[in-house]
Structure 1
């Protein structure tokens, strides 16, 4: 990865606690190594508490509160997993609005593990093929999505992966999709 993302700003949206640390730090590193500028958004200012499965990991400073952000400020979005993280996000109207805007604006989105719960709440999965942690299969299908068990899936600018073991493939694909930019066929009516 060289400078594919030079001049591109990528939003990473996480709850104040519960994000799986490696699902935040590895994609973040991939975006930086590709010349992009990652920005950490959350529902509250200050710091977020990341987790290594169920154990507390490191804390990371929040760059911007999601209620003050718009998808038009960014070139792409990453939604890390962690069991609690997307559950908290899907209960926050501003976080859900922000996620939905990326689909309305046909901008690429990367989501991993439990992250698709936020996409279910944003009602953006109808007709899309996506993968995730297996326990989300029924939720995704109930939201109109087609769940598959694959390392990485790309559907009209939406990149999804199942788990931390899939991070190398996930990181390569998000960089590729972010470099491509807008995906007109991704635009969905809200």
Structure 2
């Protein structure tokens, strides 16, 4: 799917980063790209590039291709501050991105999430299995209200988060969603929170 050009809207001039990897949930990613662009936001898909100029991933349901050209490792603190929101989507994206070859260091995507949590100006959106990416940094969700896929209920409780049985949960600068099928509610909440925060 070609990028949807942004137009003037409530998110005009804002940027949203969405993490990407293989086994993504195609309807979710397609929805975000269109919905956020409808509100005027620039939507950037970012991933670990492994030295490549571009990587084409395949979706989980239909094996649809998704080409990414932006490196999450290029998002230093200055560039990270340019984003109003960082989204960890559903599917196997978080599981793939939490891989680290050096067991003494956080995976680059997990470190990016850690740095985003250190900045209240960046809205964090984590949906469904996306909570896996925070498993190595449980302190970022400890004591916070979250929802996740039912399969991760034990994980979030072990991380010290407070599970709330709702489709979308907002706790300050953190928005969580139950499953990829709730992406429309999740995206609507992200939009509303960005407008409310004036980020």
Tell me if TM exceeds 0.5.
yes
Residue by residue, what CA displacement relative to the aligned partner does 1:1-52 show, whole Å, maximum 9, x if unpaired?
961111111111122x122122222122221111000001011242342424
* Shift, 1:182, TM fit: 7.5
2:112 is aligned with 1:102: no
Between 40-49 and 123-132, report the one with greater CA deviation. 40-49
Residues 108 and 181 of structure 1 are in contact (CA less than 8 Å); yes or no, is this contact kept in structure 2? no
Q: Distance in 1 between matches of 2:198 and 2:69?
A: 24
* Shift, 1:100, TM fit: 1.1
* 2:15 aligned partner: 9
**How many residues are paired up?**
179
Q: 2:83 aligns with which of 63, 69, 74?
A: 74
Gaps of 5+ in 1: 184-190
Q: Distance in 2 between matches of 1:167 and 1:61?
A: 21
Gaps of 5+ in 2: 1-6, 101-106
2:56 is aligned with 1:41: no
Q: Distance in 2 between matches of 1:2 and 1:132?
A: 32
When residues 116 and 95 of structure 1 are mapped into structure 2, their CA distance, relative to the original with a 3 A threshold, is same
* Shift, 1:76, TM fit: 0.9
Q: Distance in 1 between matches of 2:158 and 2:195?
A: 31
2:23 is aligned with 1:18: yes
Quick check: which one's strand share is greater? 1
Q: Distance in 1 between matches of 2:8 and 2:162?
A: 34
Residues 86 and 115 of structure 1 are in contact (CA less than 8 Å); yes or no, is this contact kept in structure 2? yes
RMSD of the TM alignment (CA)?
2.0
When residues 61 and 180 of structure 1 are mapped into structure 2, their CA distance, relative to the original with a 3 A threshold, is farther
Trace 1:99-178 onto structure 2 (pairs within 5 A). 99-106=113-120, 107-123=122-138, 124-178=140-194
SS of the residue 1:86 aligns to: helix
Q: Distance in 2 between matches of 1:52 and 1:138?
A: 24
Answer with 1 or 2: which has the greater Rg: 2
